Amino acid sequence: MRAERRREEILSLIGNTENPIPASVLKERFDVSRQVIVQDIAILRANGYDITATNRGYVLGHTARATRIFKCRHSFDEIVSEGAVIIEAGGRIEDIFVNHRVYGRISARLDLQNRMHVEELYRSLVSGASKPLMSVTDGYHYHTVSAETEETLDEIERVLRDSGFLIEI
């Protein structure tokens, strides 16, 4: 298969699903190396496509959704509870970021769409591979959350406040 045709198919695959597609799946599908997939994604980005790499794979820019940033604080053990509150109220956790006094803003794309994603993240952190980003700021952190409507974001704000996770800015 020619590279141009492969890139068109990659774009079609990641554009026609809400779920991230891992490079390993694309590698197998097109019978090429992972490096070829990474190069294809770089070329597609250079051609103006909004492709994001998450910890679960590639996604094409989301359809227009309402977004809001929430400042939160909680313990390590409450990561799943915080995520569940947001997701069960209809939100998607797009990212996490902290404002470090020395290093400035440090962020990571999350794209957590369901409770299973939150639990996978928690298991990764519990394994000791890395510490949660919020650990560098004593539990304080921000999430960009998206939802179908502003009203849903209002509800997410309410449940975060009621759960004791929301820090009023």
pLDDT score recorded for residue 83: 96
| 142-167 confidence digits (pLDDT tens) | 999 999 899 999 999 999 999 999 99
| 51-90 confidence digits (pLDDT tens) | 888 888 998 875 567 889 999 999 999 999 999 999 999 9
Q: At 109, is the pLDDT very low, low, confident or very high (cuts 50, 70, 90)?
A: confident
Sheet holding 140-147, edge to edge: 66-73, 140-147, 92-100, 104-112
3-state secondary structure of 143: strand
What share of the chain in percent tops pLDDT 90? Answer: 64
3-state secondary structure of 109: strand
Dihedral sign of CA atoms 160, 161, 163, 166 in order: positive
